Amino acid sequence: MVAGNALDDVRVPLLLHACCGPCSLEPLRLLREEGFEPTICWANPNIQPDAEHDLRLATLLAWARDVAEVDVIIGRCERDRWEASVAYKGFEREERCRACYAVRLAEACRIARERGFTHISTTLAVSPYQLFDDCVEILVRLAEAHGLEPVVRDFRPNYPDAVTQSRELGMYRQSYCGCRFSAAEAAEMRHAARDARKAGRTSADDPSMAFPG
């Protein structure tokens, strides 16, 4: 596991699995500052419906082309595999998220190895709504199984900056993590927040939540 900086005199190629455009902003910047040169990998068969998947991908591609000047590799969108590995298992939420990470990061690791990358990381580590420790454990395990060096960083302190920047750039910001389960959960929380406001509760008690990634 890479704990320090990349070599000062060499830009180290790195495949960066991206969950969305807004969550890619700070990881890309910080990894470049360390001496890595990321290529973004899009491998997110969890995102539903298709129109939502395509909108998030289009947002990422436009930013990568027009602002970040970073290459993007689009992985296989194996929705059937995701459904079989995640949706049909009857998992509770945390188990479902772990299974989802495994499907997505396994595809990113496959691409990294096939394309000759030696290092891999993920933008999932920027969102405070993800299971950080579980994501790290899965990334490390899959990376090592594919002969890759996992670059583990806690990008969560930079999340507020990513929110601000994505809004300034006019990027589409999703209201749920991606799958139909998270869409339902987010809708329930929005309804709870609406009911709380109607009941006159203060903003400090407001249970609303947004999922930027």
1-5, 19-23, 198-202 — most confident range: 19-23
Q: Does pLDDT of 110 surpass 80?
A: yes
Average of per-residue pLDDT across 120-133: 95
Q: 15: number of CA atoms within 13 Å, CB side?
A: 28
Query: What are the pLDDT digits (tens) for 134-175?
Result: 999 999 999 999 999 999 999 999 999 999 999 999 999 999
How far is CA 22 from each of CA 7, 19, 27, 75, 158, rounded to the nearest angstrom? Answer: 27, 9, 10, 19, 12
Long-range contacts of 26-31 (CB under 8 A, 24+ apart): 26/126, 26/155, 26/158, 26/159, 26/161, 26/162, 26/165, 27/121, 27/123, 27/125, 27/126, 27/153, 27/155, 27/158, 28/68, 28/70, 30/153, 30/155, 30/158, 31/121, 31/151, 31/153
Please tell me the distance from the alpha carbon of residue 29 to that of residue 24, in angstroms, as a whole number. 9
Mean model confidence pLDDT for the chain: 90
What is the arithmetic mean of pLDDT over 29-47? Answer: 98
pLDDT exceeds cutoff 50 at 208: no
Q: Which fold has domain 12-185?
A: Rossmann fold (3.40.50)
User: Phi first, then psi: what are they for 14, rounded to 5°?
Assistant: -145, 135
Q: How far is CA 18 from the centre of its chain?
A: 5
Q: What's the alpha-carbon Rg for the chain, to the nearest Å?
A: 17
Domain ranges of the chain: 12-185
Span 37-51, average pLDDT? 97
Span 159-170, pLDDT tens digits: 999 999 999 999
Question: What number of H helices and E strands is found in the chain?
Answer: 7, 5
Sheet of 119-122, strands arranged across: 72-74, 36-42, 12-18, 119-122, 149-150
- Is residue 1 pLDDT above 90, yes or no? no
